[in-house]
Amino acid sequence: MDFRWSEEQELLVQNLEELLHKEAPESLMAELDGKKEFPYKPWQALADHGILALGIPEEYGGVPADIQTLTLVCETLGEHALPLGIIYSLGIITIRDILQFGSEEIKREVLGGFVQGDPPVALGITEPQAGSDAAAMKTTATLDGEDVIFNGQKMYCTLSHQARYILLMTRDAQVENPYQGISMWLLPTDTPGLRFNYLNKVGWWTVPTYEVFIENVRMPRKNLVGGMNRGWQQLMANFEIERLALCAASLGAAKAAYQDAAAYANQRVQFGKPIGSYQAVQHMITDMAVHIENMQNYIYKVAWMMDQNLPVRYEHAMCKLYVARASFEVIDTAMQILGGLGYMMEHRVQRLWRDIRLMRIGGGSDEIMYNIAAPQLLKKASR
Amino acid sequence: MNIIVCLKITPDPEDLEVGRDGSISTERAEWTIGGFDLPALEAGVRLVEAHGGKVIVLCAGPAEINNSKIKKDILSRGADELYTIVDESLRHAGTARTAAVLAAAVQKLGEVDLVLSGEGSADLYFQQTGVQVGERLGWMTINAVSQIEVGANGALAIQRTLEQEIELLEAALPAAIAVTSDIHEPRLASMREILKAGRKPTFEWSLAELGVADLPETIDILKVEAPPRVARKQVMIEGSPEEAAKALLSHLRKEGVL
Amino acid sequence: MSDASQTLVYSEDENLLCELIGAAGAFHRPVAALVTSPSAEQRAAEAGANLVYRVEHIPAGTLSEDVLPTLAKLVHDSLFDVVLIGSTVRGRLVAGRLAARLNTTALTDVKSFTLESGSITIRHMIFGGGAERVERSLSPAVILTIGAGMFDAPPAQPGRKAETTPLEFVPPEKQAVLRERKALPPASVNLAVAKRVVCPGRGIAKQEDLAMVNDLARALGAEVACTRPLSEGLGWLPRERYIGISGANIKSDLYLGLGVSGQVQHTVGISGSRIVVAVNRDANAPIFEQVDYGIAADLYAVVPALIQALREH
């Protein structure tokens, strides 16, 4: 067992940290958050320095990278500029789906654009009545000669207005088993018939979310990604890595909050002593550090398993469940240590606190993670 | 155009530890590429990108410089080849001996048009080695260069930043140039370059291979210690911001500095 | 080093040349100056140089560094064993090239030096001011560079003459061609002479917040300086405003650091200030170990309170 990073990984993180220090400083991220703006410039900087190329094959302008390396990138982004980590993680699933199932033409177009700095492809899955029960979706795709016509509505479609494409999931009502009747399409966001309704949310202000209305949207059939009615299986193929990436970004955010809290505990003097000298605060600091260490170990292990092509049927769900809650707890405790200061809109910890809460809901809620893990655990025990 | 860039790998001055007795230790310091030297590498890489040729990096120092991560770091920033000259006697060498060693390496490499060095080393900042190398080679030698271009006649068009003026000079090759730290911002390496760095050639030379094993040392280091501290009053002012502000101003008036 | 030998001083900067003559006085031996102009010849004589070597027939378009072969020949022919050179950009080039020709090390930016039993021991800063190193030269000829303001020039003796020896200019084998010379835009500030200095550090969160710092500086009648990251990293303030090892050294009555942590690379530049004050949220910041007055509180609360209190007074 070797917990050391490779020299290449260390250099990558060093360079990325320097890049973020320059192109995505805390002052800029705070400003963009206040304006609720997508971080176009920092995102472009990531593209310009080849970060977005990682994990994409060389023939599409990419640079090979294993999952451990991608995880380190997400963690670093999360620590220095959490929204970039979130956006990057959201991109991982759609980009991988396209890479794995898209036609050559689609791959060249989408992957080439992503490497150059396009925002990630948005994922159109959730519908008003189909959230965790994604198979209950109703958006339809009707074939019409060489074309296909979409009708329906997507909910919580994050980045759909910024993205050039939505990876749209549609349901063929003719097929009885919903998991056998879902298809995946690459839908350009400038196609006539699409309407976007901005949704206000508690956090993720620089990662905007929309409700998308789809009315008689016509598109060539060749924009089908993968096989007809194979969409669900295709989607499931890359959920694990998205969850892992979100975990790594959350870990980074927790580290940032921990640093703020620990520094404050050392410098804030109350009743004549730094608050870090009080046992109550010392326990908080230690509990935070234990959580961070555990998150790190869990995430790196799952990443390693995936790199070894070992199955992660329930490990990824348990990891996500733990990290979503532990990172929230660390950041919440950081706010407690910072007191009134951490609750002020000027402090980054309030932003991390608002942003991190969604990790227990998005990318599969805590409850779904239990649903994935428990049956597998029990099955294993019954053997 | 073949360019040699001299880089000094040193203990990170940020990691300097000062003991209570004023002693200085770099034992736990991480070794890094000098921050004033990286702009020289960037200048060399840009010249080669524009005019062809290759960038060869030359580092001299004790065994700590044989650090494969630092080597990859250097090579990921655009250098084509790396030569290290490793000898324990270089740890505390005077600039005369370091310059003689580097000059011998430049001569052994041959077919070099330009030797670049940074403004000063990160640890000592004597701003001497680069110009001494140039003079030992008998080349055109200039310091404080803030811009380098290749003119139509093949000579260098150089901008030099002095205390109160800028000089535009023309200098024939071969030349040795020490650049300013703001000549270029050093580039960040992408993963593609980092991965490539591990496959680039590196070489190690001993002093004997360069024929400079027995150079006399010109300095004897007697002592390294923390600078004397100015005694200060160290009065900490408590209270609300308003109270503290008033108290401070009253102290400053008594001191007669307002 | 024999007592019969002399010390040679050279700087193209006439004020610094006089300071070098002052510094060379410590050897209690005759001091010779190498000069390239009548005004420098006069300044050197009035500062007490015993002998002046005046370089003649310098071709037009010659850079002052091109004096090197003439200097090297003089050192060689007249067996000078100590050469003091002014530590300017040009001086450092001349010193390095001369050192290479003499196969020795130039001891740079010397803070102090002593001559004991025939060998010279010097002290200078290393590690960005974090340490000082004491070195003894093992060379028969010693080259020292000395920065402006390190030693006092002797009081000028108007009308004093020195024995002058004309020297023929030795043309260099290789010469850069001067195409143009432009004055740098005048520095917006000379921190070295500022009476009061307000210095923001990394505790300032946003560039806009410098407005508050400027207000305080105006109320105090102070110049605004900064730490290196605010200038070279963030570019919020011009380079001439940063204090520290590769920046300015101040000799003010008052230094007020705002959100300055106190890294040695910075504090080496404030040690000449008479009173040092710091405001920093971090009660453990190293800056508080070297202040006269410290306030461990949020500068965003203290600075407006200071401005208010100054206005009320």
Q: How many angstroms away from the CA of B257 is the closest CA of chain C?
A: 6
Contacts of C304 in chain B (CB under 8 A): 241
**CA-CA distance, B124 to B122, in Å (whole number)?**
6
Integer-rounded Cα Rg, in Å, for chain B is 22
The pTM of this model reads: 0.89
Report, as an integer, the average pLDDT of A151-159. 95
Q: Which two tokens stand for residue B66?
A: 């044989």
CB contact under 8 A, C90 and B162: yes
Q: Is B140 on the interface with C (CB under 8 A)?
A: yes
Q: Is A8 on the interface with B (CB under 8 A)?
A: yes
The helix, strand and coil proportions of chain A, stated in percent and rounded to the nearest 5, come to 60, 15, 25
pLDDT digits (tens, 9 = 90+) for A176-212: 898 999 999 999 999 999 999 999 999 999 999 999 9
- Three-class secondary structure of residue C194 per DSSP: coil
pLDDT digits (tens, 9 = 90+) for C95-109: 999 999 999 999 999
For residue B243, give Cα distances in angstroms to A122, A292, B239, C26, C42.
Answer: 55, 41, 6, 51, 58
Residue whose entry in the numeric block shows the structure tokens 């790396």:
B82
DSSP label of A339: T
**Among partner residues A27, A269, A346, which is closest to C283 by beta-carbon distance?**
A269
Substitution target in A6, A15, A16 with the highest count of B β-carbons within 10 Å is A15
Buried-exposed string C242-260: b where 16+ CB fall within 10 A, e elsewhere: bbbbbbbbbbbbbbbbbbb
Q: How many angstroms away from the CA of B48 is the closest CA of chain A?
A: 20
Contacts of A29 in chain C (CB under 8 A): none
pLDDT digits (tens, 9 = 90+) for B126-167: 999 999 999 999 999 999 999 999 998 899 999 999 988 999
Contacts of B68 in chain A (CB under 8 A): 7
pLDDT category at C191 given cuts 50, 70, 90 is confident
- Residue A173 confidence (pLDDT): 86
pLDDT category at C265 given cuts 50, 70, 90 is confident
pLDDT digits (tens, 9 = 90+) for C108-145: 999 999 988 788 999 999 988 889 999 999 998 999 99
Q: Is the pLDDT of residue C2 over 60?
A: no
Q: How many angstroms away from the CA of A379 is the closest CA of chain C?
A: 54
Mean pLDDT over the full length of chain A: 95
Q: Is the pLDDT of residue A321 over 60?
A: yes
Report, as an integer, the average pLDDT of A268-273. 86
Contacts of B16 in chain C (CB under 8 A): 127, 130-131, 264
| Chain C residues with at least one Cβ partner in A under 8 Å | 205-207, 281-285, 296
Report, as an integer, the average pLDDT of B40-44. 98
Q: Which two tokens stand for residue C149?
A: 């303001």
- Residue B231 confidence (pLDDT): 87
Q: Which residue has the higher pLDDT, A346 or B113?
A: B113
CB A178 within 8 A of CB A231: no
Contacts of B188 in chain A (CB under 8 A): 15, 18-19, 49
CB C97 within 8 A of CB B133: no
**DSSP characters for B154-168?**
SSEEEEEE-SSEEEE
Percent of chain A topping pLDDT 90: 88
**CA-CA distance, A33 to A255, in Å (whole number)?**
20
Query: Which residue of A lies nearest to B194 if distances are taken between CA atoms?
Result: A8
- Three-class secondary structure of residue A245 per DSSP: helix
pLDDT digits (tens, 9 = 90+) for C303-313: 999 999 998 87
- Residue C248 confidence (pLDDT): 82
Q: Is the pLDDT of residue C1 over 50?
A: no
